[in-house]
Each structure stands twice: as C-alpha cells, then as structure tokens.
Structure 1
Amino acid sequence: MLLDVLAVAVAVLGDGVFFAGLSSLTTRAAVVQVFLVLTVLVSVLLATSQEERGRAVASLAQARAALASSIDAALIGSGVLVVDGPAAGRRLHPNPALQRLLGVAETGEDGAAQPEVSWPAHLRPEDVATVRGVLEELAARTRDTWTGELAHVRADSSLVWAQVHLSALPSPVAPGLLAGAGDGVALPVPGAPHERVVVAQLLDVTARKDVEAQLVHLALHDELTGLPNRVLLRDHVGLALAAARRSGALVALVFLDLDDFTQVNDSLGHEAGDRVLRVTAQRLADAVRASDTVARIGGDEFVVCCPEVDSAQHAEEVAARLLDAVGRPVLLDGRLVAVGASAGLTVSGPDDDAGDLLRRSGTAMYAAERSGRGRTAAFDRSLEARADRLVTLTAELREALVLDQFVVHHQPVVDLVDGAVTGCEALVRWRHPTRGLLPPGDWLDVAEGSDVVVRRGEQVLRRATADLAEVARTERPLKLHVDVSGRQLAAAGLVDAVAAALEASGLPPHLVVVELTETHLLEVHGSLLADLSALHRLGVEVSVDDFGTGFSSFAQLVELPVVGVEVDRSFVAGATTDDRARAVVRGVLGLAEALGLGVVAEGVEDPAQAELLRGTGCRSAQGYLWSPPVDLATFRGLLHAPLGPPARTG
C-alpha cells in the first residue's frame, strides 16, 4: 500500500510515462530507488540548511559585536533605567560611553564590569525633583519621551552638561538582553519581569554650554573691567528693591563720573585710560560690601547699588567712602595720575523702580559736576525740575541750530588813549521765538553739556569772520576776538573749523584772536596743545580770557603760543574801590608787559575805571562804557568816530 502511494506520488510529480511499461516487480524496485534518492536529497538539503544557518548566526554575532563596539566608542552615552518598582529612577545600566561621560570606572576594583550606576548621585540637587517627576510620568505612561539639558557631577566633582533624551519602551520587557534599544547597542534589561524601562541617551554638550555662558557673561558684563553692565545692574537694582519692600529697608544708588578723564586719554593715551578705569573698578569693588553691586555703565561712569541701607545719612557715608577710594592717585609707569570723581546719590521710595533710581542718581551726579566737581550731590525735587529744564532747553537749542536762531553781536574793543575802535568780541545771542533775545547766561550752561555748543561755535566762527571780512572791505581791518568753549577745545576739528571759516570769508588769519579761559589753559595737554600750535602756525593769535581767576603758571604763558591776556571783569569792577582788586590789575599789567603780552580789560562800565586802567598802562578795553554787544549794522556805525560817553542801552 505504501509503495502504491509512493508510486502515485512519483507519477504525479513526474509525467507518468516512466511507469507505463514496467512490471509490478520492476515498479517496486523503481519505487525503492526513488525513495532512496529522495532520502539522499532531503539529507543534503538539511545539511546545507544547517551550514547556512551556522554561517548566518556567526555573521549576526560578528555584526552585533562590531555594532556594540562602535556604539561603545561613540560620544553618545546610553543606558537603561527602571522607572517603576522599588528601585525606580535609581539604577542606570550604562554603556561604556555613558560611563566615560559620568567619569565612572567601567570595572570595579575586582576587575569585573560595573553593571549599574546611581543616576541621582550625578545630578545637581536642584534637578533631582524635575527628573523624578519626568520618570513618574514615563512610568505612568502619560508621556513616552522627554528631552532636556541637565548638568551632571562627574566622579571627579567636575561638571558636565548633557542633552538627555529619555524614551520609554512601548511595553514592559522581561529581564535579559535588550537588542537595538535606543542607539542600537545590546543593553542589559535589569530587574524583575515586566518592569517598565526607559532608554536614556546622553550627549555631552559641555563645550556648547561653556560658549553660551561666555556669551551671556559678555552680554551682562563690561568687557574692560569685568563689572556688571547697565543691563545686569538694572536687574540687581530691581531685586534689591523687591527685597527692600519686604524688609522695610532702603536701597541707595551712587552714580559716579570721573572728573576730567578725557585729559588722561589725551595726554597719556587710551591704554593708560583703560588702566585707570580698571584700577577705579577694583577700588570701588574693594570699598563695598559683598551684597553691593558695582557696575560700569559708560565710558567713565560707574554706579554702585547698596541694598539694605538704614538711612539717607548711611547712604551719604557710603558715597563719601567711594569718593575717597576713587580720589587716590593712580600710579602709571612711575607717574602719579590724579583721579577724582563727582557723585550723585539717591535712596529708594516705596514705589520706585530701577529706572527711577538710575535717573535720579544721574541727575544728582550732573548737579555735583556743575557745583564744582569732586563732590557729592543728593537728589531732591528741585534737581528734577532743573533736569526737566535741561531736557526741554536742550531740545530747543537743537531746534535753534536748525532754524538759524543764533545771531552774532559785536562788542567793540577800544583804544583807551584815543577812543578808536580797534576790534571787537563776537558774542552770540539766541533769538528765541517766544522769549525774545536771550543772552548766553540763560542757556550756555545747558549748551556746554551737549554737542550743541560745538556746532554753535562753528556757526559763530563762520558768521563772525564773514562780518569782519565785510568790515575790512568797507571800513578798515579790525581784530576779531572769538571765545572758544571747553567743549569745543575737547572736541576734534577746532583747527579745521577755524581754517574753513577763514577760507570761506577771506579774513586774514592775523586778524583773528581765539580766546580760551585761564581754567582751560590749565588743561592744555596732548591734542589741545597740538591744536594751539596748529592755530599759531596758521597765523591765528591765542589770548587768555578771564585772566586772574585761575591758577596758570608763568611757565605756561611763556611756553604756549599766547599773545595776550584779558583782565577779568570782576577785578576791573573793584579796581576803583578795593585795594586788593586794584593790586591784581596792576600785577597783571606788569606781568603782561614783562612777557611782551597784550592786555584787554573787560567789563569797563564807568569813566573812573577807564581812567584808572589808562593810568596803569592798559591800552585796550571793552565794556558797556562804550557799547553793549550790537548787531553788525550798529557796530559799523561806531567806527566813524572815536567813542564818547558811556552807552547804557541794550
């Protein structure tokens, strides 16, 4: 029966012709042969399958080993973390890359591989709660992944930042070997069966975080001194105010500006100026408490925030201590450089914010500078009113430049012997649209604090030289005296402005006298000395205005290109009634004669003063005795005859 079945099977598989003419015996023999052939074929096939399977298994093992080796050597650390059960979140089973990232040994003291590390032990305390909450969500299946950046404390206590990616496996996995988890490396699955596990991947981003920290530091700190800048200062002041509202204490702000710092840059160079700023920053930092903030918010401007101040008097004591610290000379290359500062002080009120304190302390500082420098001014409401005036007036002055509201008037300089007009001083007036003609006393202090005075000075130079060039063509050549402000002296381009005005007007340079005050004479250094020398080479004369009110030395009068002095009106006014004032006038005249300098007496208002000056040898004077400052047309009318009795108009 079996042979019949096999025969039928072979016939079905074949074409049936092979058995057509065979006898029964022959048929049986053939079936046996076929059976043997099939047996051999099956055996061969089985042997081939086992050999290929062996080769495949070996190849797979090699591939897995190579992959594991490459992942172990990669920068990405991987590990498996149990997120439920009694050891939830504590047992991290790492690959070698993760062990290297955390700085833990790959083997223990006995040489055996360390199967797990404690992840919480490598986290900062402030991050543990965050990680615990994430793991609880992963365990509860309310989230499947989480990505964030966490700082880890390595075994050597150094800090490493890692970008962490946590991926929960879709279903609990029995203990054993997890192949292809996360980064593809075979990882051990710890714990009891069916625990929920998470694959953790950690990428070292410490280098990027260091760069980011540096960028943040640069954004919040002054590069030269390392002190907080204005942005960080406002943040610290805001925090101090919030704390003060809770405690009932005060916050004090001291705004300091270095006096005459531009002199250091001009005379010694910007590198020396930078050294002075660094020394100043360190001295301020040494003079305050650890809770105070010292910030540099501008070129030579520093602000100190003092939280938890008891009273306004306490704040004043702090400001005095800071001025003392800054006021000590700085030793630069064996040379002592004098440094001083003006300070503005304000204390907080209940509703103040950081902007209020910064604005008020700055207002107080400017008041201190105007009062003589080297001083401290405490803010009060009157200063705020003056600050409002400053803002309004500055805006109006800028508009006056655009609308051409500044006009030049001329006050004659008279020969005391024959009364002839020998020159004039160009004096500017502001034709205000609502307040009329304003003298400099109403606005010059504000203009001096802005660039308006420089642009206005250039405008006066152009118009005054044009006026005197016209007078020289139609009447006779006269000397033109032009005041130069401190701001103009400090700004670049004074010589170019004078040269441009002379070229445009055609006025000969020797007819122009540039006047600078005796106070400015004391500040002659660096670029200013170069400017005065350049003016001298140009043919322009230089005279010292308000002589006797400063402390210039004889050496300066001899060494600098100065051709004359002008006696200050305060001495002229008292010369007829005060012996000391009269002695000063005579002393100035004697000194000028000895040095070969010309003299002009200012502010002569009555004949007795003119007679006294004439009797002491003074040849030239100006004042209301002869004429107030007048417009060009009126001034030209004064040139036709010697001036007579005092004119009291204007």
Structure 2
Amino acid sequence: MRVCTPPEELAELRARQARLLADLGVLDAGEDAELAAVVRVAAAVTGVPCATVNLLDARWQHQLAPHGFAGASTPRDESLCSATTTGAPAPQVYDDLASHPEHASNPWVDGRRARVRAYATAPLVVDGTTVGTLCVFDEAPHAFAPDAGERLADLASVVVALFQRRRQARELADLAVANAAARDQAEAAAAHVGRSEAFTRALLEALPVGVVAADADGGLTLFNRVARQWHGLGDAHTVEQLRLTPEVVEAFGLATVDGRPMAVSELPLQRVLAEGRVRDVELAIPSPDGSPRLLRASGDRVVDAAGRVTGAVVALMDVTAQRRLEARLREAALHDALTGLPNRALLVDRIEQALRVQEREGLPAALLYCDLDGFKAVNDTLGHAAGDAALLRMAATLSAAVRPGDTVARIGGDEFVVLCPGTGSESAAHALAARVGRVLGAPTDGGPPLRSSTGVTLSRRGDTPDTLLRRADAAMYAVKRSRR
C-alpha cells in the first residue's frame, strides 16, 4: 500500500537518495559481475524469470544488472518500487499485482510499459535511507513460497554490502592518493620528512586491510596492525629478522585456498618481486579458531627515482565471509528450499553427466518421474504444514530407497525425479520403480503410507536432459491415467 508523504518530506527524501547514489558511485560503475550474480540468484530462489536492482534518484528509476529482460531508466513516478521508499521499508510479495487496486493501474502492470503480475521486492537501505529495491517478477501470476520475502531481504543485504564495500574501497583509494601527495610534498621539503613518515605509519596502522612489505632481497620490512593480528603477531613484534623462506611459510601457516602449503615462489610478495605486480591472488592463513581465513592479495614493486627495485608492497583483504556467502548462495540456487534436495538446475547438470557416461561406456541411466498422489487433497483439507510434512517424508523415503550414487531431486510442487546412472536394462529400471513403490507404501510412525504415480524410462543415445525428462513425465501420466 502506498504511503502518503507530505511534499516537503518527499522532496527531502528524493534529494537524500540522489546524494547517496552519487556517493556510492553505482550508477556509472558499468557492468558488475558480482551484482549480476546476486540478481540471478534472486530469480532462481524465488522461482520467477526476471529480476533487477532498481535505484531511485530525484526523477528517475534506474535498473542495474537486469536479468530476464532488457532493463531501462524510466520516470520515478511510474515505479513500482518507489512505494517501498517511504514509511518503514519491508519486503513486499504479490502473487498477482492485478488483484490489488492500488497497483493494477500502474504502467508496469496494465500494459503501458509491461504486464507484470507476480512481483516481490526487498528494500536496499543505505545509511538509514532506502535508495531502491531488489525485485523479482513474472508476467504471469506466481505462488511465492512463504519465505520469499525473507530470502529476498537476505539477498538485498548482500547488494547493500557490495555497494558499501565499493564505497569503502574508493575512499581508501582517495586516502592513498592524498597520502601520496602529502609524501611527495614532504620529500620536496626536507623539513617535512619526519612528519610525512609519521603520517604514513599512522595511516598504515589505521587501514582496515592488511599491508605487508619486503625489501628487494626478500627481507620482511613491514606488517601493519591488521596484518600482525591476522598472522598472530603482537603489536611489539618486529619483522626485520624474517625473510621469505619455507620456515616463514610454515610458521604463519600460509596455504593455497585448497589447503596446500604454499611454496616460497607462490607467496604474493615473492611474486611481486619476480613479476612486478600481482592482482587478486587468494591464499589462506589460520584464524584463531583454527578455520582458514581467506585473503585476497594485490601488490606492486617499489622502485626508486633511478628505476631500481627496492622492494615490494602487498595489500591483503579478508574475503572469508564473502566466500562463505557465495557458497551459501550457490547452494541455495541449486537445491530445493524445503527438502534440501537438488532442484531442476542441478538435476539437469547430473543428467548431462550421465548421458556423457553413456556416450563413452554405453551404460544407460534410468529416470523415475514420481508424482505424489493425493497431495492437493492433503493441502486443501489439512493445510500447507501437513503438505510440507508429506513432501519431506517423500524426499526422505526416496533418498533412503536408492543407491548412494543416485540423485533424488524435487522439480515441482509434488514432483520428484530419481536419476540412476548405469542401470543397464528396462527390467532393472522397473524393478527399481517397484522397490520405490514398496518403500513409499510401507506404514511409518511419521504418518500414513505415501503413494506415487511413477513413470520409468531409460536414456538413449542422442538424448538431452529435456527429451529424457519429457519421456519420463509422459510415462508418469500414463500410470496416473491407468489408475482412474
């Protein structure tokens, strides 16, 4: 519901949003792979084809990283997302906008710009002000999951974190430029050298990133405060006696991201001395709890006025939380939220692998397409909680009935698919389907027996995931019709 805001407050809000967008520098940042990845995940986890980041300045709505449609800048007053920028911002989820009078006449709904029906949005709040939204939509109505708003809000916080991280990086770069200018001025006047060095030391100690340096012979000359903390060194510790040696690698636990101890030649500082520059090299060091801390390193050589190499400097950024979040997002994009089973995207990937094995070795795969009978009646009479419980039992029962190398996936409301590579024959596939039926029909303490209409097919040479799934789906419907 749109909140009526006094004109003077609305003008101040729009001015504040425009200032924040200029400060963040996101409108002129160009293509952004990380932002595009978050937008794609937003579409995947909510089950709709289109998603985008909407940003609002004084007059316009700008669409960043649009997924599933072209995207454009359009007048702010027509924006669906601007309703969330006043009042208390919160996620909004609409299965069908056309059924809401306050939105049915919006140009994005009634056909003047688009025909958006399903729509969900979460606000992007920066420094206490909503500057836009992360939204997903479809031109057809869509029944969103009950937690769609929460999951979209989680992804909106990732977008805000990306914006703030880039603003911080730009501020650090500006600070470094200011420091370089101050240092150059100090070097031009000998009387200011001491003050410049003190300023540089204070700046290095205050930076929220690690900074390490070595001389041209590989002797360590600098660990700032953050680098000392990460490497387990006290503030009073000096590093002048340390060199880039295997002993230092072992003492600090320096490793590649897959846990292999690094060779001296792989160390970012050593690579800078050898190659001149490194960018975005990742490594791991132990954190206090023993888990790996993932660092991203970039560095350059230090040269004197005559062009001689005098050392190397490397800046380190802690990307542990970012990598963990990326892993969770990848997991969410490939697994069903309710059951934790692989979703359609991961199933298709595994079918492709099974088909490649068949091309090489001639062993077909069996595909079982299982539709839970009576599921709609359970939902309608006992409620969605009972329906979810039945789906969870179905997932657990199927997983227990198959081999460790088989894949059980949920690809729709009550539709499950079992992929069994290397099954060999039609009779073996039907025997597997019969076993699944017996296991499902056995009574359990968790509820009444389950019944599934199961279609069975074997893969053929030349199959694609789509043709194999369609054939199994048709077999399932044939079973269902035979029971009527």
Please, what TM-score do these two structures have when normalized by structure 1?
A: 0.39
Secondary structure at the aligned position of 1:164 is classed as: strand
* Deviation of 1:229 (Å): 0.8
Query: What is residue 286 of structure 2 aligned with on the other side?
Result: 154
Query: What is residue 98 of structure 1 aligned with on the other side?
Result: 227
Does 2:318 match 1:204?
Answer: yes
* Deviation of 1:216 (Å): 2.3
Does 2:481 match 1:370?
Answer: yes
Query: Comparing both chains, which one has the higher relative contact order based on Cα–Cα distances under 8 Å and sequence gaps of 6 or more?
Result: 2
Q: Distance in 2 between matches of 1:239 and 1:173?
A: 58
Query: What is residue 315 of structure 1 aligned with on the other side?
Result: 429
Letter in 1 for 2:418: V
CA contact (8 A) 2:294 2:320 kept: yes
Secondary structure at the aligned position of 1:294 is classed as: strand
Query: What is residue 452 of structure 2 aligned with on the other side?
Result: 341
- Identity, in percent, stands at 34
Q: 1:202 to 1:355 in 2, by over 3 A?
A: same
Q: 1:271 to 1:58 in 2, by over 3 A?
A: farther
Q: Distance in 2 between matches of 1:340 and 1:173?
A: 82
Does 2:391 match 1:297?
Answer: no
CA contact (8 A) 2:397 2:439 kept: yes
Q: Distance in 2 between matches of 1:70 and 1:137?
A: 25
Query: What is residue 465 of structure 1 aligned with on the other side?
Result: none
Q: 1:150 to 1:268 in 2, by over 3 A?
A: same
Query: What is residue 579 of structure 1 aligned with on the other side?
Result: none
CA contact (8 A) 1:124 1:153 kept: no
Does 2:346 match 1:214?
Answer: no
Letter in 1 for 2:383: G
Q: Distance in 2 between matches of 1:305 and 1:172?
A: 66
Deviations 1:153-201 (A, max 9, x none): 4255423333322223357999xxxxxxxxxxxxxxxxxxx77743221
Letter in 2 for 1:226: G
Written as runs of structure 1 = structure 2, the 5 A alignment for 1:112-511 is: 115=242, 117-118=248-249, 121-125=254-258, 132=266, 144-148=276-280, 150=282, 152-154=284-286, 156-170=289-303, 197-329=311-443, 331=445, 336-372=447-483
Written as runs of structure 1 = structure 2, the 5 A alignment for 1:16-31 is: none
Letter in 1 for 2:279: T
Query: What is residue 402 of structure 1 aligned with on the other side?
Result: none
CA contact (8 A) 1:172 1:196 kept: no
CA contact (8 A) 2:271 2:277 kept: no
Letter in 1 for 2:286: R
Q: 1:370 to 1:75 in 2, by over 3 A?
A: same
CA contact (8 A) 2:209 2:317 kept: yes
* Deviation of 1:64 (Å): 3.4
Secondary structure at the aligned position of 2:453 is classed as: strand
* Deviation of 1:80 (Å): 2.8
Q: Distance in 1 between matches of 2:464 and 2:281?
A: 34
Which of structures 1 and 2 has the bigger CA Rg? Answer: 1
Query: What is residue 21 of structure 2 aligned with on the other side?
Result: none
* Deviation of 1:61 (Å): 4.5
Secondary structure at the aligned position of 2:254 is classed as: helix
Q: Distance in 2 between matches of 1:287 and 1:346?
A: 18
Q: Distance in 2 between matches of 1:328 and 1:274?
A: 19
Q: 1:298 to 1:115 in 2, by over 3 A?
A: same
Secondary structure at the aligned position of 1:121 is classed as: coil
Secondary structure at the aligned position of 2:468 is classed as: helix
Structure 2 stretches lacking a partner, 5+ long: 1-185
Q: Distance in 1 between matches of 2:379 and 2:388?
A: 9
Secondary structure at the aligned position of 2:207 is classed as: coil
Structure 1 stretches lacking a partner, 5+ long: 1-52, 175-193, 374-650
* Deviation of 1:115 (Å): 3.6
CA contact (8 A) 1:261 1:300 kept: yes
Deviations 1:579-634 (A, max 9, x none): xxxxxxxxxxxxxxxxxxxxxxxxxxxxxxxxxxxxxxxxxxxxxxxxxxxxxxxx
Q: Distance in 1 between matches of 2:215 and 2:428?
A: 59
Say how many residue pairs are matched.
Answer: 287
CA contact (8 A) 2:407 2:418 kept: yes
Q: 1:139 to 1:311 in 2, by over 3 A?
A: farther
Q: 1:195 to 1:240 in 2, by over 3 A?
A: farther
Letter in 1 for 2:233: E
Letter in 2 for 1:264: V
Q: 1:170 to 1:311 in 2, by over 3 A?
A: farther
* Deviation of 1:258 (Å): 0.3
Deviations 1:466-522 (A, max 9, x none): xxxxxxxxxxxxxxxxxxxxxxxxxxxxxxxxxxxxxxxxxxxxxxxxxxxxxxxxx
Q: 1:273 to 1:240 in 2, by over 3 A?
A: same
Deviations 1:103-157 (A, max 9, x none): x32059x97658464288321348969x94998985565xx54432625242554
CA contact (8 A) 2:254 2:283 kept: no
Q: Distance in 1 between matches of 2:197 and 2:304?
A: 24
Q: Distance in 2 between matches of 1:363 and 1:132?
A: 55
CA contact (8 A) 1:250 1:349 kept: yes
Query: Which one is further off, 240-249 or 227-236?
Result: 240-249
Deviations 1:231-281 (A, max 9, x none): 111011112222332233222211111011112112211101101111211
Q: 1:93 to 1:241 in 2, by over 3 A?
A: farther
Secondary structure at the aligned position of 1:226 is classed as: coil
Q: 1:134 to 1:244 in 2, by over 3 A?
A: farther
CA contact (8 A) 1:80 1:94 kept: yes
* Deviation of 1:288 (Å): 2.2
Q: 1:287 to 1:265 in 2, by over 3 A?
A: same
Query: What is residue 493 of structure 1 aligned with on the other side?
Result: none
Please, what TM-score do these two structures have when normalized by structure 2?
A: 0.50
Written as runs of structure 1 = structure 2, the 5 A alignment for 1:497-646 is: none
* Deviation of 1:366 (Å): 0.9
